[in-house]
Amino acid sequence: MEQNKQLEKTYKKWIIALSVIIPVAVAALFGINLKKMGYDVDPLTFLPPIYAAINGLTAILLFLAVNAIKKGNRLLHEKLIKFAMACSVAFLVMYVAYHMTSESTPYGGDGMLRYIYFFILITHIVLSIVIIPIVLITYMRGILSDYTKHKKIARTAYPLWMYVAVSGVIVYLMISPYYAS
């Protein structure tokens, strides 16, 4: 019990640090374009469909993880969540790499679709930042076997993380016709 309290204290420090460092690093790296800085790099234009697919895979993994725990399969649940977290990290690395080597693509749609696109995009971005500490706290509660608190916060983490994963795919599908060839 005392060891869990110590571990929780340590984890919370890491959660706070990562919850600040990740969005700040992404924002900073997003503003760096290696080509404009004079580096001879090819734009990584092949990445958007890959990281969109990873977002889709993350949504599927989350769905399967919730079903696994509802059926009492804790080990499968844990493996699926770890895989979903790894997918989210892979998405983030590819997203940053793409934006460091390629020009941002402006959305070319108009009318009501334009408003829908920007609503989905903005909520996706905001929630992708908000979800970091929520997912990490949920994960911490699970690995510390504090299942009552884990289940309670997972009720918030799951729909938010699912929205971020699915909305990432939707944003890609809506902007993909406007990517430069």
Residue 93: inside a domain: yes
- For residue 2, pLDDT over 90 is answered with no
pLDDT category of residue 1 using cuts at 50, 70 and 90: low
CATH number at residue 126: 1.20.120.80
Q: What is the mean pLDDT of residues 116-130?
A: 97
pLDDT category of residue 140 using cuts at 50, 70 and 90: very high
Residue 166: inside a domain: yes
pLDDT category of residue 44 using cuts at 50, 70 and 90: very high
Q: Give the position of tokens 């309670």.
A: 152
Give pLDDT, residue 181.
53
In this predicted model, what pLDDT tens digit does every residue of 143-164 receive, in sequence order? 999 999 999 999 999 999 999 9
pLDDT category of residue 170 using cuts at 50, 70 and 90: very high
- For residue 22, pLDDT over 90 is answered with yes
Higher model confidence: residue 139 or residue 32?
139
Range of the domain at 85: 6-178
Residue 63: inside a domain: yes
Residue 154: inside a domain: yes
pTM: 0.91
Residue 42: inside a domain: yes
Residue 1: inside a domain: no
Residue 13: inside a domain: yes
Average pLDDT, whole number, for the chain? 94
How far apart, in Å, do the first and last CA atoms of the chain sit? 58
76, two tokens: 């499968």
| Total tally of structural domains belonging to the chain | 1
119, two tokens: 């609503």
- For residue 5, pLDDT over 60 is answered with yes
